[in-house]
Each structure stands twice: as structure tokens, then as C-alpha cells.
Structure 1
Amino acid sequence: MKDLISRSNLKKIDPAAEKLKATQPMSIYFNTTLLEGQNDYPYSCYSVGQKVVFGADPNTSVQCTTPDNENCYLYCTEEDIQTAELSQFIQNNILNLAQNYLQQLFSVASDGPQSVGLNPGYPTCRDNIPLPSQYMSPRGSLPSGINTIIYVLARPILQNANISDSTLANGGPCNFDVYFQEKGSSTIIGLGRPKVVTINLNPSMISSFIGSTAFQTTALYKLVLHEIFHGLGFTDIYFRYYLAYTSSGSQIDNNAIATFTYDGYNANSQNFTDTREGLTMELVSQAFSSQFGCYPNANEGYTQYSPLYYFSELGGDSSHWAANVFYDEIMMPFSNPNSVVSNLTLAVFNSFFFYNVNYQMAEQMEWGRNMGCEFIAQCSSQNWRSYFSSPYSQNQMCTGSRYGKGISNVVEYYEDLPTEYQYFTTPTWGGDRYYLDYCPVYLTFTDYCTDESLPVNTTIREQRCSNCRCFEYLEDSNQPVEDLSLACWPASCSSTGQLSILANGQEIICNTPGEIVAVGDIGVLCPVDYDFCTPTSIPFNPTPVPTVPPVLPCNLDDNCGQTASGSATASTVTSSGLTEDTSTSTSTSSTPTGDSTTYVPLTVTTGSNTQISVLSSLSVTVSVSTSNPCSKFYASTGFIAGGEPGPFICSGIKSSLISPTLIILLFIFTFLIYIQ
């Protein structure tokens, strides 16, 4: 990635001003060409024993031995084969759902009738996926109406020998602009919106979803969203090359990842220092505090930064939420069929200058909700309370977020766990999931209350449904509390904000956590450490999102079309400062050349009165002088570096092109190569 950045042409930018332009729904094109026929040979498997290549060299003679091999090959097994059935399943059952969801979730900047072109510094994606030359700037552009392309692949994935879990999929950004912003005497580098994304679904893992239940198909859909989110910017490189702003609009440091330490004690009273990483983004901090009921303390880093997952055996980057803190979040590092797109992930995307997000699409994360700062700080029986499982407690309990009937994951290891992961006085005891930092909890991987295909206990009128949750109960309301059974029942919130459970065919209201409510012959235990009904908080947005400027009517009888668009020739910027260029040229063939040339695209809308609107934070002034009614434009987008000069065209006019006089004053833009 650093090598790619070094080959990119930098463009100056004002993040706060660009944020105002993100008003158009994201328009996505899923490119599935490489899922058809044998179009992805030799990178996908089409027959058993075929050589499949990993890396950019299709003729490599090196056999793969580790996941770190960049150019190597293996032989395809039956499980690796990309079948037509798999391709159709992905396209028919997953991609349409993802497309509809993403287009409602994200708004991006409008680039006029055609989307701006791709960065020519990135001519290929992944391993030898060439991007069409007609999409490349400065002369090319994306297809009309499209602003994001997602390539979908079904290639085998090298498995990591250091972990027992298999990799289901991966994804990442592929083509984006690289920007700079001046901060005092220094220049800050940041990444622009990903315009091309790739996601790869491992056939050996994904093929099992074909013909699966609705619950399993939804789980795959969430997995695909997870990988797309990586491609759209939820990734280590975007956190470290981050152009941001505070609520007052001022620039902050562009590395959004902070490293901090936590000093604690294990179950044997041994002191340890744990080094962690977390996101510093302002909106994320607000969502983080609201989720856990933990507010920033300047002396405690874990209360200020939303923790990221860092595991050296997985490559060492910080592209996921910490799994033990965010177990139900879609961007934690391992697949969870009940994962949710929470306000925390949406706050990350809304922190980027190139997106505005629709917070109405957020889902509530029930894991850890209002559990306090202690829950974030350290897993322990005191801090995690009912989430914590022990060899001395009941083996079966509901999971922390109550999506399923859990089983204690405590196991005994052959040697002592690291000091910071010793949660019992016996140092070889711990949870069986390394990505949860070996924290002992109740987990399920099959018995979900939200899976409607599973059997139910009809004697207690058990149900499985999307809003069903796990609850403990006593088969006899007079029996000891230690003898609990588990059931799935619908959960909702009463008009007064209390948890309501439809248990054994009757609605009960839980007013007091831990109380036992008799329902017929059984007694239902009202859950503790479970906040189901607190409304989801929406982070404060430091940049108000404007509405899309209206199309003004052309009410004169001149055959004028409703819209007009084009770009003015640019000022030539010299080292001495600003210059102005008054141009009436309508030629599309003459293009200024040289590194000192800047282009200034404008999108305009016809109106009955001369109206020019320029964002006040940009030093741009536009004036119009012409007798033709069609040249009365409404300029709505300010300016963007990297366009091409050309004429203004009033659609609907059959006569010659219109040549209004434009006077443009602009900041100096520099054409730079950043070397790293």
C-alpha cells in the first residue's frame, strides 16, 4: 500500500468543505465478470489438480508454504472449485441485498452527469485485475450514474497455520485519490474515497451456504457486508492516512489510531501492562461512550479510544474492532451470524470527509451495553459479571447478548496463559477463543434463538424469531435458582421502557433485574446486565449535511433544457501566487499541460435568474456574463482538482455551444509525488 501511495498524484483538499458535498446516494456496480465461465484463470479453481496462483505473477514456479508467500501456487482441491452454482448463489441471494442497503446507507459527493475517473496510479486491483483505461483520469470517467465499483471474486485463500480458524473471505480498497492538506509548515497526507473495491469469497468455506436456511444466508450477507466495509475504508491504512476535522472544523492529526497502555492485575494479583490500540475519531468516541456508559477519563486511555483488534498471527494490522468488547459488531474479526451494523461503525464512516451516513440504518448492539468502563478495561468475574463463565458455575447459560443458548468455553491449556490472560487462580484455565483474549464466556455456534429453522420446546411455548432472545427459567418456580433451564422467547419493550418477554404464552414485564416471575408452573428469571430497551444514541455530526440544490426552472421560451454542465478552463498557477483566467473558448481538444496546471470542474443548473453559489470556505469566485438565458447557471459544487477543461453545454439547444465568460479565482494547487 505504501508503494501505491508513492505513485499517486496528490491533490490539495479541504476536508470540511468536501464533507458538505456528500449528498448523493452511493451508486454501486457489482462487477461479477470474474465469477463467470473461467474468466479468472489461473487465480480461481475450475478443476481438481489445476494450478492456482497467489500473487501477481501468473507464471510463478514457487509452491506456497505460508500465507505470507506473495507469488506462489497450490493445486486445487474439490472444495476450492468456483462452480456456476456458487456464482449464481452469490449474485442472486447476496449482492442485491447489499446493493440496496449500501445505497441507502451512504451519501457521497456528486460529480455531475458522469462520475470522475479513477486514479491512474492504481491501474490494477489485487492480482492482475486490470481496470478499464476508459475509467482513468484525466480523460476517462466511470460509467454514467456509477460512483463505486465492487469486484466480486471466488478465489481460494491461503490459510494461516498459526490459527485454527479458516478464512471465509477478505476485502479491501483498490483505487482512490490521495490528498494533502497543509498544517502549519507541514503537509498531511490522506486518502480519498475508495472508488473501486474488491471482495473475495473463499469457495471452500462459502459453498456450504448454497441451499442453506434463511438464517444462514443472512449470515453470509453480513459477511459480505463486512468485507465491503473494509473496501470502503474500515481498514488500517485508512485509519493511518486520515484527513479529519473536529466539531469546530479544525484539522487534527491524520493518524486516527492511538497506542495506549492499561495497567491491571490478574486473578493471582500479578501486575501486567497491556499495550493496546484504539480509534481517536470524535464521532466514534461519542458512540463508544453511549454504547458502554463509559465516559472519557484523561488518565485512562481505554476510556478515550475505541479499542481495535491487533493480533500478530493475523498480520498485525488494526482493521477490526476488539472482539471481546464488540463481540456482536459486524466489524469484529470473526464471523458472527447475529452481528449488527452499530452506530460505532457508522461513526467511523461518517468521520471520513467523503461520506455522510444515514444513522437510521444503525442496529442496536446488545453486547456490553451500559456495562461501564470496567467491562472495557479488563475481562474478570467482577467486571464482566454475568457474562463471565467459570468451571465452578453452571455450564449452560444464555450468551451475553442473549442471541442464543450458551455453553461455557472454559478449557484447560497445557501451559500457563500469558499473565494478562490469567482470569483464574489456576493459570492454565481460560476461554477457548484467542480472539476474545481467552476471556471465559458463554458462547454458542449453533443454538441461536434467532434461527427459525431450529426446533422449539412446545411445552413452554418456546419460539425462535428475529426478536427472540434467550432467557433462564425454573421448571418449577419453587426450585433452587441454581437449577436453571434455557428457553427462547420473543422480547420487546413496554410503553414505559421495560423489557417485555412473551414467556410460556404470557407477557411479563421485568421491572427488577434478577427477580423471578411466575408464569404458570414455571418461573422466569428477569435478566441482569442486559439493557435491551435504552434507545440507540446518534453521535453528534460536526458537519451538517446540506440538501441537494434544487433544479431551477428555465421559464423562458427558448427551448432550454433543465440542466447544463461543463467545466471552465483553469487558471495557470505560478509560484508568485494567484492568477485569473477569463476564457470564452468552447474547444474540447485543447488541454493545458504541465505540472502547474489546475482544472476546475463546475456543475451548474439552469435558472430563470442568474444565481451563483460558492461554498464560503473555498476561495473561489464565479461570475456569469451573457445574453443567452441558458447561461444563467446555479453553481452548486465549488471546485474539485483533477478535472478536464471543456465547454458548458446547455442540453436541448440545437444551435452552437454557449460560451459564457467566467472569471475564476482559486487557491494554488500543486501536482506532487509523495515518496515514502
Structure 2
Amino acid sequence: MGTQYQFLYVMFLMILVLNHENHCIFALTEHPCSHHSTANHEVFYDVDIEPAHIVKKRSIDQPLHIHLHYDASIDLLPADHITIIKETVVQAVSFWSNTLKVRATGAPIKLKRKCSSRNVRYKDQMSYCVDGCSHQTVCGEIQIPDEHLEGCYWWNDRDGRYNKDADGNNGVANTDFILYVAAIKSDRCKESTVAYAGHCQQERALDRPVAGYFSICPHSISTHQQDRLQLLSTMKHEILHALGFTASLFAFYRDEQGNPLTPRKSLSNKPEFDQQLKMYKWSDKVVKTIERSDWKLPMGIITKRVHMVVTPRVKAEVRKHFNCPTLEGAELEDQGIDGTAITHWEKRVFENEAMTGTYTQSSVISRITLAVMEDTGWFKANYSQAGNYEWGKDLGCDFVEKSCFQWIEEKQKRKEDIYPYCKEVKKGELWTDCTNNRHSVALCNLVEYKKPLPLKYQYFYQIKDVANSDVGRYGGSVSLADYCPYLQEFSWTNKDKILRGSSCLVPSNGIDPDSNYFGEEYGNQSRCFNHGGRWYLHHCGGVNSPQHSGSGCYQYFCSEKIGLNILVDGIAYRCYKAGQKITASFVTKSYLHQGTVVCPACSDICDESKTKCPAEFDPPFVDHAILTVPCSSNLYNYNIYYLLVCLIIALSTSFYNRSFH
């Protein structure tokens, strides 16, 4: 073959590859929470609404009423962004109103005014400003309207009298909590931060927060469906910080009768203040420090100190969830800056629970989080609102009380699956997997770092296709999970723009027909199924594979007569037994698609619908119809056109060379 024809042949193969290439890349999602435990000087205590002896007598049986007040910064946003924020805030507030009950608030809430200085005096356990009140009072960074404020409590240093200025304000009636909503571009709006929140005022009788703020970072607002779902999850998370799930409120938690779980000082009726933590210090009835003396790491056995919420309902829920009867409580995060450590559940233990310190995949508000809200002494929870939380479920004490290094090591010794962890490195061809519940296509988040990780975060002696000298640079992509690698949802992106997520349950994650190489379908009746190998795209004698394979989202249905059926490009294929490889093929305008899908056990899928599965047996031989490879697509015509141009150029060059040499 002449040189120019060899060149054309290579060009032909390259054209086939380039035109079949999916130009999207994936991004493992991680959005850290930017909540910080509210500093003592940022909180106003002793909001006087009703006497404690009256409040304590009330049952916790009234739905939580949250009053929304929108800051002027919201109105500076584009109209569609304003709509997104207000609709999503209402959704989040509605969720918590339907989930939490409180003692009825029998009078309007009038918030306290800010003192001109930090100097205060106490009388009858009420605080009075030594230098009078400021002209402006804020909640976080949001100015509180004057009509929401009571008169100033102040001490006159000349005559030693304690005074309260009269006010004509009505306060906010028929509510239990005031939420100030803003969209402020502050220093806390880091690149990956979506929003932040906190409480700012607590009532006098039982210390319950009665006012807080929620600020969304303007750069994070997006009209994309995937981003809106994440925004809703973030709002629920941040509002819960303001309602009570934060380290700065642990010392104020109470028992069912309304009695403090942490001792109080007689003069101020406040707990002991911890100067190092810069917050009121809780007792070990709320958070306890536990020592794990047998924490195994590659470098040996160490003692690991962990903080755990040990309140009664939380302890009962975590023991039940993890199937660990000796578990002391729920472990709190030990990494991150102020507001991440201690104020969230430990990411390694709780992964996609909504109150961990970073959003990585579809978050779930679990019974454990609802239990801690009950254990504040301020709320009763509607547990039917809890999501289906599966991370770590029934994995036992070894999972929740030992390092992921020891878990992986012992599982590998027994030649068992290391779930929920993984050890596949993302190199070369993108090979996806399924999450354990099959709700999403997933990737192992084991990645390479520029430098070796600290020894306590190195979990492997060997990794396939990685030089032993480089193994120390590999770990999970989520630092808050102690770099433990696990299967994680991800997003398909193009030039940093999110195109779609990988959750099978979200219809908007559906794929454009021209790129739907595996015959997938997304929606509530879809689940993730693994592929049995590479898929192939045939076109006029040429063949190519997509740049990723491994798993896909497919609709299914269950029947007591024929068991599990998986739909590929709308065609139903019956699963006769677990491990069976379904051979699927279909034709689109551009390709003949061929590949395999692996059947799970029927019960793994159909138990959810309580469908009784038939007995397994070998599938019968099926004589598949011969499908025709399409040859008239625009893509093909474009390739031929491009080839002809190359051919003309090559022939012209050959003619020129022959004519002038």
C-alpha cells in the first residue's frame, strides 16, 4: 500500500474513533458545609417570650412554624434565581415543619437588641447591656428589622439601676422560629460552598433557638435540575444547624422534662464557658470522648480518640442501624476547620447522611439525625419523614468501631467483598460500577495524589497497575472520610458545566438519544445494572466502543411468574438466574449497538416490591435476530465527505510529486 493510502487508512480509523468519542468528562461531587459554630458574642440569649414554668408544662405536639424573612440582597439577583431560592426555601422549611414538633409558642417573638459593647451585667438571670444598645442588630450578616426587636435592656452605671426601654413593636406572632434568608457574597463563600447558616438568638425558658439565618452564595445558584436538588439538600442541612444541630448548642440540650443535661452557673444560668473551644462546654451526657485503643493502621496499632453523641435516642438508633449492640453513640467528625469538626457526623462512618460535613452524593436524612433533634429536649420527630439510609447498615461493630484499613485487610484475607469500600483506580478507560442499592451508576473514588498521604491514611500494600513505590499516594478523594475509598455517585460535565448526574432515579439524568450507547432509561422504575463487558458500536463494517462502560441505568419490572425483567432500549430481557449475561442489541440511526447486561439475583431487586421470585434455572437458547448495520446517517456522510477531501489532497500531492520530480 502506498504511503498516501496508508495515511488515508489511518485517518479513516481515527475519524471513526473521534466521531464516536463522548467528549464529556466525569466529576466526583464534593461540596463542604461552610457552617461554623456560632461564636458566643454572635448569639443573643434570654429572649423573653414566656416563663419557664408555663413552657415546661406544654406537650411537644405542635408542628414547627418557621417565619421566613427575605433580606434585600435577594432582590438583587436575576428573576429566575430569586424564584429558585424562594421555591427551594419553602420546600426545605415545609419539610422541617412536617418533621419536627415543638411546645407551642404562646406569645409573639421579640428578639433582643445588640449591646453597644460586650460588657453585660446579670439580674434575675437576665442580661443587661452596660453601655446601652446598638442602633443595628444583625443575625449572622443580615440586619434584623426594627419591628422584630424588643426594647433595650440596659444598666445605668450612674445610679446602678437595671432598665428596659419601652417599645411599640409587635414582634413576630404565630411562629416558633424566625429564619432570615439572604444571598450575600461573603468571605465564607468559597468556590465549592453553596450556602451557610446558623442560629443567632435563644429563648430564655428552655434555651431553644428562636431565630437564625440562611445565606446562599450567589455564585452557586443554578437552574440545572441536578444543582437544584443539591440546593434543596443543602438548605435542609443548613436549616437544621440553625435549629439545633451544632456544637455551640450541645451544652444547652435538655431531657424530656426540660431539665438541662449540662450543669448551669447560678448567676447567669449558663453552662461553663470553654475558652479554648470558644463556646459553652457540654457534659458527657451529651458528647463523650471515647478511646479506641486497638485502632489498626499500616504503621501499627494506635489509640484513636473520638467524640460521640451519647444521648439516649441517638445511641439506640445507631446501635440498631449498624447492628452493633456495644456502640457508645454516634461518632462526630474529627477533621476540618471550625464548624466542620464536632458539628457533623463522621464522614467515614455516615458517608451520605445529610448531616455529614460535605455533600458527595444523594444525601439522606436518617432516623439518627431525627433522634438527635429529639434529644435536644426541644422537639419531637416524625420518623416517617426519615429517608432510606443504607450506608453501613447491619455491617456490625467491626465496620463502625475499626479503621477502614483493618476492614479492608480482614475482608481481603477472607477473600470477601470489601464493600462499602473499593480498590479500583480510575486510569485509562472509564469503567463504572453500581452503588450497593443500585440507585446510581458509580465510580470508585480511589485517586492519585501528588504527594504521599499521611501514614494513617494509607490503606493498601498493593494496588493493581500501580508501582509499589507509588501506592502511598493513592487514597479516597474525600478527605473527611479519612481518605477511605468507596463507590460514589458522580456528574457528567463538559467544560466545568454539569450536564447530568448519575442517579438512575432522576429522569432529568436521561441521555440524549444520539449518545445513549447502552439503551439506558432513567426514572423512578430504573436501577443500575452492571455490564458483562465492553459494548460495541457497528457502522458499515467499522466497529468502535464508547470511552466508558461498566454499568448503566435500566428500567425493570418484577413478576411472580417470570421474575426479574430488564428493559434495554425498551426491549424486555428475562433474568433466569443470578450472574446470567443478557445479550442485548438494537439499532439506531447511527449504529448497531451490542453488549451484555449482568442479571443480579431476582430477590435483590424484586424484594423491594414484595414480589416473590420464581426458582432459578439456566436460560434457554435464544436465536437472536440478525440486525442490519445502518449506513446512511449524517455522521457517516460527514465521514465520507471528510475522507474524500483527504483523498483529493493525497492524490493531488501524489500527482504533484510525480509531475515535478
Q: Which category describes the TM-score, using the shorter chain as reference length?
A: 0.5 to 0.7
- Written as runs of structure 1 = structure 2, the 5 A alignment for 1:502-651 is 502=566, 504=568, 515-517=578-580, 519=582, 522=596, 524-526=598-600
Pairing of 1:322-361 with structure 2 (within 5 A) = 322-336=346-360, 338-361=362-385
Describe the SS at the equivalent of 2:181: strand
Provide the C-alpha distance between the structure 2 equivalents of 1:218 and 1:115, rounded to a whole number of angstroms: 34
Match of residue 201 from structure 1: 216
Q: Distance in 2 between matches of 1:272 and 1:230?
A: 33
Higher mean C-alpha displacement, 502-511 vs 367-376: 502-511
Give the direction of change, closer, same or farther, for the CA distance of 1:529–1:198 in structure 2 (3 Å limit). Answer: farther
Q: 1:517·1:524 contact (CA, 8 Å) conserved in 2?
A: yes
What SS does the aligned partner of 1:104 have?
Answer: helix
Are residue 175 (structure 1) and residue 208 (structure 2) matched? no
- Counterparts of 1:98-137 in structure 2, within 5 Å, are 98-112=92-106, 114-119=107-112, 123-127=137-141, 129-136=143-150
Matched, 1:389 2:422: yes
Corresponding letter in the other structure for 2:288: A
| Aligned counterparts, 1:214-253, within 5 A | 215-245=226-256, 252-253=261-262
**Deviation digits for residues 268-308 of structure 1, max 9, x if unmatched?**
3522222221211211112212222222x2xxxxx212111
Is the alpha carbon distance of 1:490 and 1:157 closer, same or farther for their aligned partners in structure 2, counting shifts above 3 Å?
farther
Residues 392 and 96 from structure 1, CA distance in 2 versus in 1: closer, same or farther, beyond 3 angstroms?
closer
CA distance in 2, matches of 1:430, 1:280: 31
Change beyond 3 A, Cα 1:156–1:116: closer
* Displacement after TM superposition at 1:494 (Å): 9.1
In the alignment, the residues of structure 1 paired with residue 296 and residue 321 of structure 2 have an alpha-carbon distance, to the nearest angstrom, of 26
- Give the 5 Å matches for 1:658-669: none
Match of 2:330 among 267, 292, 306: 306
Q: Write the distance in 1 (CA, Å) between the matches of 2:606 and 2:66.
A: 34
Select the structure that is richer in helix: 2
Provide the C-alpha distance between the structure 1 equivalents of 2:602 and 2:394, rounded to a whole number of angstroms.
12
| TM-score, normalised by the number of residues in structure 1 | 0.58
SS in 1 for 2:348: coil
**Across the two proteins, how many residue pairs are aligned to each other?**
453
**C-alpha distance in structure 2 between counterparts of 1:358 and 1:329, whole Å:** 17
Amino acid at match of 2:504: C
State the alpha-carbon separation in 2 of the partners of residues 469 and 412 from structure 1: 30
Does residue 378 of structure 1 match 2:403?
A: yes
CA 1:501–1:258: 2 relative to 1, 3 Å = farther
Shift of 1:259: 1.6
Tell me the CA shift for residue 436 of structure 1. 1.5
Which amino acid letter does the alignment assign opposite residue 107 of structure 1? K
Query: Matches of 2:250 and 2:110 in 1, distance apart?
Result: 24
* Residues 122-142 of structure 1: per-residue CA shift (max 9 Å, x gap): 853113623535553898664
Alignment of 1:411 with 2:444, yes or no, is: no
Residues 258 and 280 in structure 1, CA contact (< 8 A), matched pair in contact too: yes
Residues 47 and 201 of structure 2 are in contact (CA less than 8 Å); yes or no, is this contact kept in structure 1? no
Q: Give the deviation of 1:115 after TM superposition.
A: 3.5
Alpha-carbon shift at residue 444 of structure 1 (Å) = 3.0
Counterparts of 2:216 and 2:189 in 1: how far apart (Å)? 16
Secondary structure of the residue that 1:385 maps to in structure 2?
coil
Alignment of 1:492-511 (within 5 A): 502=566, 504=568
Q: Which residue of 2 aligns with 1:155?
A: 184
Q: Does 1:398 align with 2:440?
A: no
Q: Return closer, same or farther for 1:25/1:279 CA change in 2, 3 Å cut-off.
A: same
RMSD of the TM alignment (CA)?
A: 4.1
Which residue of 1 is the match for residue 291 of structure 2? Answer: 261
The amino acid of 2:316's aligned partner reads Q
SS at match of 1:192: coil
Deviations 1:58-97 (A, max 9, x none): xxxxxxxxxxxxxxxxxxxxxxxx4444223311x31221
Corresponding residue for residue 655 of structure 1:
none
Structure 1: distance between partners of 2:458 and 2:298: 8
Say if 2:434 is the partner of 1:434: no
Shift of 1:26: 1.6
Deviation at 1:463, TM superposition (A): 2.4
Worse-matched range after superposition: 146-155 or 136-145: 136-145
Instruction: Name stretches of at least 5 consecutive residues in structure 2 with no aligned partner.
Output: 1-38, 116-136, 152-163, 263-281, 412-416, 462-470, 492-501, 536-547, 585-595, 610-661
Hey, what's the Cα distance between the residues in 1 that align with 2:302 and 2:532?
41
Per the normalisation by structure 2, the TM-score is 0.59
Aligned equivalents of 1:337, 1:21: Cα separation in 2: 37
Unaligned runs of 5+ in 1: 39-81, 180-190, 298-302, 478-482, 536-676
Q: Report whether the alignment pairs 1:452 with 2:507.
A: yes
Q: Please tell me whether the aligned partners of residues 494 and 500 of structure 1 are also in contact (alpha carbons under 8 angstroms).
A: yes
Aligned partners of 1:501 and 1:336: how far apart in 2? 31
The aligned residue for residue 423 of structure 1 is: 459
Secondary structure of residue in 2 paired with 1:474:
coil
Deviation of 1:385 after TM superposition, in Å, equals: 1.3
Report the CA distance shift for 1:95/1:350 in structure 2 as closer, same or farther (over 3 A): same
Q: 8 Å contact 1:476–1:523 — kept in the other structure?
A: no
- Look up the SS of the partner of 1:176 in the other structure: strand
Equivalence for 1:489: 554
Q: Given the superposition, is the C-alpha separation of residues 508 and 307 from structure 1 closer, same or farther in structure 2, using an over 3 Å criterion? A: farther
What is the CA-CA distance between 1:205 and the residue it aligns to?
Answer: 1.8
Report sequence identity in percent: 21
Q: 1:372 to 1:491 in 2, by over 3 A?
A: farther
Partners of 2:457 and 2:475 within 8 A in 1 = yes
Distance in 2, Cα, partners of 1:23 & 1:510: 52
Matched, 1:96 2:90: yes
Alpha-carbon distance change, 502 to 373 in structure 1, aligned in 2, over 3 angstroms: farther
| Superposed CA offset, 1:151-173 (max 9, x none) | 11111232599xxx622211011
Q: Which amino acid aligns with 1:451?
A: V
Aligned partners of 2:385 and 2:59: how far apart in 1?
21
CA contact (8 A) 1:262 1:274 kept: yes
Q: 1:30 to 1:392 in 2, by over 3 A?
A: closer
The alpha carbon displacement at 1:250 in A equals 8.4
Kept in 2: contact 1:266–1:419 (CA 8 A): no
Q: 1:212 aligned to 216, 224, 238, which one?
A: 224
Query: Judging changes above 3 Å, is the alpha-carbon distance between structure 1 residues 111 and 177 closer, same or farther for their aligned structure 2 residues?
Result: closer
Alignment partner, residue 289 of structure 1: 319
Letter matched to residue 199 of structure 2: P
- SS of aligned partner of 1:157: coil
Structure 1 position 359, deviation (Å):
1.2
What is the Cα deviation at residue 195 of structure 1?
1.4
Conservation of the 8 A alpha-carbon contact between 1:391 and 1:410 = yes
TM-aligned CA distance change 1:351 to 1:518, over 3 Å: same
Corresponding residue number in structure 2 for 1:582 = none
Task: Measure, in 1, the Cα distance between the counterparts of 2:306 and 2:186.
Answer: 28
Q: For 1:88, what is the secondary structure of its paired residue?
A: helix
Which residue number corresponds to residue 21 of structure 1?
59
What's the CA shift for 1:229? 0.9
Structure exhibiting the larger radius of gyration computed from Cα positions: 2
Change in CA separation of 1:315 and 1:22 when aligned onto 2, cut-off 3 Å: closer
- Which residue of 2 is the match for residue 578 of structure 1? none
